[in-house]
Structure 1
Amino acid sequence: MMEVVKDILQAYRIFPTEIEKVTDRLYHIKDSRRDYALKKSTLKQEDIAAWEHVYYVANEKNLSEIVPVYLTKDGKLYEDVDGFVYYLSPWLLFAPRSSSETSIERTMGLLAHIHDRTQQSQRISKSSLNKNFHTYQTFCEQLPNELYSYVLRFEQQAYMSPFELQVCTHYRDIETALNRINGEVSEFLDQSEEEITWNLSLCHGNLALDHVLNNHIINWEQARYDHVAVDLTNYFHQLTGEYDQPNELIMEGFKVYKRKYDLEMFDMKLLSIYLLNPADYMTIIRDYVKSTKEKPLTYQVSALQKQYRKLIFALKWTDFIKEEYETINFDDLSN
């Protein structure tokens, strides 16, 4: 494999003095002048155009948050070897680990700047919006009864398994989340305007915690233009799936985001709907009930608990939005 790496580097006119395999897909390259990161990407041929567009936009909009990639001697952004796409970027040195508060606020600030600078707006009709959300609304409305049927089924067991006990323990909170999302979807669709502004921005599409290095965001392989709720949901889910949820830090980080990129209530409602999405939680229960035996019980219990934590955060999030941004100022109404 090292010979393949050396051949790829020749396409960049780089003669390495040291090659370190960091992971199966990442190499740390050194020559006499610089350090580089060589990535064996997951890009398919049909994804390349969208990925390349990220760097054209970053150059045009002067988005320093997006780590650049080097051009080959043929002027390409990547090198194709045996059907795999490789690209080369600067090797970023890790700064000393910052506090969670600083890290979350910094990431939210980076996202806000990218989303703001790349925003594109389009007008869509209210009828089109309702049509697109109708199937999802119907799906959500059926879930409370489905969840209740599982609880009744499990409670009839003489001895519940740890997974079944977990579902029953979660029930009240998940029932609240299901009722909440049905209310949020109804409010979201209850728009008085016949036409609505739908904003799209450059979204990372797969924002994991290790994709944020200092003041930069790496790995734009799944990037696309979408509503910013996509990036924010991915990031919040990364932060809230584990035991220690930094709820207050996320709320404070969002205030930083909103000061830099001022979302409308319509956009915040959509974000709430994304966060409250119960599909993954319900899918885990359905798979258990089907008794497919594909995954061990310990995995199912752990996976369900992660989805539960995300939904608990979503409930706290919607409370935060209501208190922070939906509170009616009666003095304003009287003027």
Structure 2
Amino acid sequence: MQTIEHLKPVLQPYGVEPFFVEDTGKVSKVYSNKGTLAVKHISAQTGVDFVRNIQTLFQRGYNRIVPIYPTMDGRYAVWHEGELYYVMPWLNNQDKEDRFERHQKLFRELARLHTISSQDVKINKEERESHYEQLTSRWEKEQQFLDEYVEECEKTTYMSPFQYHFCMYYKDASQALKFSRNKLDEWYESTKDLEKVRTVIIHGKLSTEHFLYDDRGMGYFNNFEGSKTASPFHDLLPFLSRTLKTYPKYFDECVEWLETYFQHFTARAEEKLLFMCYLAYPSSLIAMAEKYFHTPKAKRNERKAVRKLQRHYWLLKNTEYVVMRLDEIERKKKEEAEAAAEAET
């Protein structure tokens, strides 16, 4: 628990005198001579990348992060008793927008973050080829597992509830895997001679809970401890997986959020291919089937296993809808561009 006495050495380099502290876990709300502040502590290992990425973004003019106050001697964090502490203003986060608009703002700002921090880095052909071969090899083995397991289930005189549901879901899972494989092949063909790949600074824990609003309604990212340099889709894919992991529905709003993102972050054709490839892949359903298969019968909980399999299938179908809508949009854009080019000639 963070107390005034514990935080005094942390706040001293900022010239802050604490009056009262509300401990809310990792973040402490501090009432002080310089207003209401948020003080957060992180591990030293996480802190190195965090400070470096924050400094890089500030230097490039990106200011839609909850401001990290520097100490009087210019540091962005203070070391105390084995942990790093940093100080921010306390935001009330009272945004009056509805859920859809809140997500629109989040994706618009994420696109700006990725655009400002983007850079091309060199990659040799051998690395790209190795990644492609390792992925195709793993996916071929997983397709083989699906095929062999469905055959085994169908040969069983009395299928278990899990086996019965797996057989019903097999075709959809297999089609999703095939779609992902085709996109991966397209990606490799279009990039095998390229010598660079684009990276950005990703947030690392993208969520509306980590996008806070000030009194003017301006949105700011916080909880940047998971930030790192990676592909921009390392932010999008985990967010989509969590969002789509629910009962079956048409996620048109999800398609619109992604369209908003792509309107403000110009993704290259090969980047979109790889994004679609990873998004469509039914990894969680395959993992669930493999776990059930390798679990001894005496240790299986059939009811829980079936419920989990069904949820992974719902995720697959929700993702399928989003992927098909995005694929349709991209196909129409390509047709319109080709028609425009023909009209000019």
Alignment TM-score, normalising by the size of structure 2: 0.84
Residues 13 and 170 from structure 1, CA distance in 2 versus in 1: closer, same or farther, beyond 3 angstroms?
Answer: farther
Answer yes or no: is 1:48 the counterpart of 2:47.
yes
SS of match in other structure, 1:213: strand
| 2-structure distance, mates of 1:192, 1:312 | 29
Q: Which residue of 2 aligns with 1:252?
A: 256
Distance 1:11 1:158, change over 3 A: farther
Residue in 2 aligned with 1:316?
321
Which segment drifts farther, 10-19 or 204-213? 10-19
Gap change, CA 1:296 and 1:62, over 3 Å in 2: farther
Alignment CA distance shift 1:192-1:234 (3 Å): closer
Partner letter of residue 67 of structure 1? V
CA contact (8 A) 2:108 2:264 kept: yes
Query: Structure 1, residues 169-197: CA drift from partner, whole Å, max 9, x if none?
Result: 43222122111111111111112772254
Corresponding position of 1:265: 269
Q: 8 Å contact 2:16–2:34 — kept in the other structure?
A: no
Match runs of 1:1-335 below 5 Å: 1=1, 2=3, 3-22=5-24, 24-41=25-42, 43-45=43-45, 47-73=46-72, 75-154=74-153, 156=156, 158=158, 160-161=160-161, 163-191=162-190, 194-214=193-213, 215-243=219-247, 247-291=251-295, 300-301=305-306, 303-327=308-332, 328-329=335-336, 330-332=338-340, 334=342, 335=345
Q: Secondary structure at the match of 1:184?
A: helix
Q: Distance in 2 between matches of 1:222 and 1:61?
A: 19
Q: Once structures 1 and 2 are overlaid, which stretch shifts more, 312-321 or 128-137? A: 312-321
Q: 56-65 vs 121-130, which deviates more?
A: 121-130
Q: Kindly provide the CA deviation profile for residues 75-132 of structure 1, in whole angstroms up to 9, marking residues without a partner as x.
A: 4322333323322211111123522321221111001111111110135455542222
Structure 1 stretch displaced more, 209-218 or 24-33 = 24-33
Further displaced range: 290-299 or 175-184: 290-299
Are the aligned partners of 1:208 and 1:234 in contact in 2 as well (CA < 8 Å)? Answer: no
Matched positions, count: 331
> Which stretch of structure 1 is more off in the superposition, 240-249 or 169-178?
240-249
Other structure's SS at 1:221 match: helix
1:9 deviates by: 3.1
Q: Distance in 2 between matches of 1:310 and 1:243?
A: 8
Q: TM-score, normalised by structure 1?
A: 0.86
Comparing 143-152 with 3-12, greater Cα deviation is found at 3-12
In 2, Cα distance between the equivalents of 1:4 and 1:160?
58
1: distance between equivalents of 2:100 and 2:250? 9
Q: For structure 1, which segment, 198-207 or 106-115, has the greater mean C-alpha deviation from structure 2 after superposition?
A: 198-207
Amino acid paired to 1:103: R
Seen in structure 2, the aligned counterparts of structure 1 residues 301 and 12 have a Cα distance that, compared at 3 Å, is farther
Partner SS, residue 94 of structure 1? coil
Deviates more, 1:53-62 or 1:32-41: 32-41
Query: CA, structure 1 residues 166+9, in 2 after alignment: closer, same or farther (shift >3 Å)?
Result: farther
Stretches of structure 2 that go unaligned for 5 or more consecutive residues are 214-218
Quote the Cα distance in structure 1 between the aligned partners of 2:300 and 2:103: 33
Relative to structure 1, the CA distance from residue 304 to residue 75 in structure 2 (aligned partners, 3 Å threshold; closer, same or farther) is farther
What is the DSSP-based 3-state SS (H/G/I as helix, E as strand, rest coil) of the residue aligned with 1:89? Answer: strand
How far the C-alpha of 1:314 sits from its partner, in A, is 3.2
Deviates more, 1:133-142 or 1:80-89: 80-89
In the TM superposition, what is the alpha-carbon distance from 1:300 to its structure 2 partner?
4.9
Shift of 1:228: 0.9
Aligned-partner SS, 2:22 = strand
Query: Are the structure 2 counterparts of residues 33 and 78 from structure 1 closer, same or farther at C-alpha, using a change threshold of 3 Å?
Result: closer
Shift of 1:221: 1.0
When structure 1 is superposed on structure 2, of 147-156 and 222-231 the one drifting more is 147-156
Q: RMSD value over aligned CA atoms?
A: 2.8
C-alpha contact (below 8 Å) 1:141/1:182 kept by paired residues:
no
- Alpha-carbon separation, structure 2, partners of 1:65 and 1:244: 34
Q: Deviations over 1:214-240 (max 9, x none)?
A: 311111111111111111112222321
